[in-house]
């Protein structure tokens, strides 16, 4: 039913935890199944240097969260935005069709973390511009 990679990432998840001074945070959940995942990213020079997650959910949700944090490390923000639910599932050697929504949650939480980072960065740049104008 589940691939060896799914089972490995479920039983030995990578990058579990929070990044206290994260540059971006993304939260995604599915009210139907009850899965909720949160992803924290640390960014330097437009590149994701670290990613961590906390997930409340089934084994597939934990495995997809773990895999997405592995996939993004070292990638630029634009490269990380290209990571889709299909890419997450493929990296895990597939998911049962009734568990594909878990890969959607992982990809969506990642994209929300990147959006959060970019929104904060824009806000900081606008604040600096306003300060320079005064």
CATH of the domain at 35: 3.90.1010.10
User: Starting from the edge strand earliest in sequence, which strands make up the sheet with 24-29, in order?
Assistant: 24-29, 36-44, 47-56
Residue 50 belongs to some domain of the structure: yes
Q: How far is CA 79 from CA 11, 72, 84, 128, in A?
A: 28, 8, 11, 28
58 an active-site residue?
Answer: no
Threshold 0.85, pTM exceeds: yes
| Mean pLDDT computed over 7-28 | 97
The catalytic residue among 7, 25, 33, 36 is 33
Number of domains in the chain: 1
Identify the pLDDT of residue 127: 65
In the predicted structure, residue 122 carries a pLDDT above the cut 90 = no
The catalytic residue among 6, 41, 80, 102 is 102
133: confidence class by pLDDT, cuts 50, 70, 90: low
User: Regarding beta strands 47-56 and 24-29, do their DSSP bridges make them parallel or antiparallel, or are they unpaired?
Assistant: unpaired
Residue 133 belongs to some domain of the structure: no
| DSSP per position, 77-116 | HHHHHT--HHHHHHHTT---GGGHHHHHHHHHHHHHHHHH
Closest CA to 39 of 101, 89, 114, 97: 114
């Amino acid at each position: 039913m589940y691939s060896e990679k799914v089972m490995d990432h479920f039983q030995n998840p990578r990058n579990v935890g929070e990044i206290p001074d994260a540059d971006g945070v993304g939260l995604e959940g599915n009210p139907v199944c009850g899965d909720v995942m949160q992803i924290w990213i640390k960014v330097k020079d437009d590149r994701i240097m670290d990613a961590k997650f906390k997930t409340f959910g089934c084994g597939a949700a934990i495995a997809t969260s773990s895999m997405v944090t592995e996939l993004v490390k070292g990638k630029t923000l634009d490269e990380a935005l290209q990571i889709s639910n299909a890419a997450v599932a493929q990296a895990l050697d597939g998911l049962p069709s009734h568990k594909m929504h878990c890969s959607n949650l992982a990809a969506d939480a990642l994209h929300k973390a990147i959006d959060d980072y970019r929104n904060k960065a824009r806000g900081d740049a606008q604040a600096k511009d306003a300060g320079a104008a005064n």
